[in-house]
Amino acid sequence: MRYTYLILFSFLFQGLQAQEQWNLASCVEHALKNNVGLQQSKISVDEAALTVKENKHKQIPDLNGSINGGISFGRNIDPTSNSFTTENIISANYTLASGVTLFQGALIRNSIKQSKLSLDASTKEYQQATNDLALTIATYYLNVLLNEERLEMAEKNTENVKLQLIQMEKMIQSGVKPEADAIEIKSQLARMEQTQVSAENGLDIAWLTLKQAMRLDPSKKLLLERLTEEQLNGVQLENYTFESLSETAAQSQSGLQAAYKRLEAARMGEKIAKALYYPSLFLNASIGSRFSDAAIRPLDYSTSRILVPGIYIDGKSVLFEQDYPTVKSTEVIPFKDQYDQFLGYGVGLNLNIPIYNQRSTKTRVQKAALATKSSELQAELQKEKLNQDVYQAIANVRAAKKEFEASKRALDATSYSADKTQKRFELGLANVFELNLSQTNLQNAQSTLVIAKYDLVFKQKVLDYYAGKPIKL
């Protein structure tokens, strides 16, 4: 019994999972968190931020330490006394050195400005990638809703034809209609079933495309929030003119703003290249000491008297003895004492004046100017494309609005005609071919309206995209 309850609970839980509902905002949010391309774009932003920090730190002095050690054999110079020795020597040198740029033609300052502009550009490009992904998800989302409605219509039409076939068979049995009419309806049913299969395949592909864009498991069951009539009727064309929308898009479209930032960074690159024409002045300082096992000091002495010849007093030779100390043992001067004894300092200025460097600086300046020109053209191209896209988007919405209204009128007229034909058929005033034609026209009108409806909603979202509004339903 307990096992049975577990099975029932499992099925109930799966049913609840199957009813998990997602709206466009949740789909976009999930895609933004999991999109690999967007994560790569974020890495570019982080790299640009690190470059800014790196360039800022070039304004402060650096500090480096070095330790060199070795063993010398044969005739060498003792590094502690600068005298020749034939003994093997173990020696070491240790130094701390620091340097700072005092003047370099404002190269460091301009490099900081350029890296900040590049960071702004990378951030704008990341924002543009985010907006593009949101619009893509909205496209796939609406495509799923479109195919769901098309499948529902196909299923409904198939059921209607099945009912017609049942009625026709009853009429044939009663002798009201010939058997040939049933054959025609069966053909119509086969076509409806084919349309239904096509709609099912279209929905499967639409779901797969959406889930792949969101990086979801294709087997995960989702239920998407449907559109309301208020959302369908919410298109306000009078709020969008080419002049107002193009101006708004120029301010809201991060891709265009990124192009302008790249242009500013390229212009700053020209200043950086020209800085190499100027002299550069560097201040450096160092402190260091050394150690050698050849540096020794006496450890113990012994005293002996030595007769000193050649001493005379009043012209007479006198015996004179003098105490003479003799070193009995020695020791290597300890590291700490050698450090204090051989400690040295140094401060210097280094002035580098460029005179001729094989045209490398001039070439860099010329290349920087070309990079600026290329950035100008790129920004101009993006501006022109944006204006074209805005104009096309406005025209598309106006056309889609007209198409939607025309499709509604066509459906009303086709529905009225189909109802009349159905009644005439039931009275024996219309044949089965006329009935099938009217039903086919009705199905086409229904399909056209559904497509027009979602086409209008999508193209409105494109307008909102250029207006800088969040993509939502």
Asked which of 368-382, 410-424, 428-442, 444-458 is least confident by mean pLDDT, the reply is 428-442
pLDDT of residue 17 exceeding 60, the answer is no
Can you give the pLDDT at residue 8? 42
Quote the pTM value: 0.80
Q: Can you tell me the mean pLDDT for 448-471?
A: 86
Can you give the pLDDT at residue 15? 47
pLDDT of residue 186 exceeding 70, the answer is yes
Q: Can you tell me the mean pLDDT for 74-79?
A: 73
**Between 227 and 417, whose confidence is greater?**
417
Can you give the pLDDT at residue 234? 57
Write the DSSP assignment of 368-405 as a string of letters: HHHHHHHHHHHHHHHHHHHHHHHHHHHHHHHHHHHHHH
Sign of the four-CA dihedral 395, 397, 402, 404: positive
Can you give the pLDDT at residue 239? 66
C-beta separation of 213 from 161 below 8 A = no
C-beta separation of 426 from 178 below 8 A = no
The chain-wide mean pLDDT, for the chain, equals 86
For residues 401, 403, 406 and 412, what is the CA-based torsion angle, rounded to 10 degrees?
-100
Where does the pLDDT of residue 232 fall: very low under 50, low under 70, confident under 90, or very high at 90 and above?
low
Tens-digit pLDDT profile for residues 168-183 = 788 778 777 777 778 8
Where does the pLDDT of residue 259 fall: very low under 50, low under 70, confident under 90, or very high at 90 and above?
very high
**What is the SS3 assignment for 340-363?**
HHCCEEEEEEEEECCCCCCCHHHH
State how far the Cα of 368 lies from the Cα of 377, in Å rounded to an integer.
Answer: 14
pLDDT of residue 292 exceeding 60, the answer is yes
Q: Can you tell me the mean pLDDT for 1-30?
A: 61
Q: Can you tell me the mean pLDDT for 7-20?
A: 48
Q: Can you tell me the mean pLDDT for 6-12?
A: 42
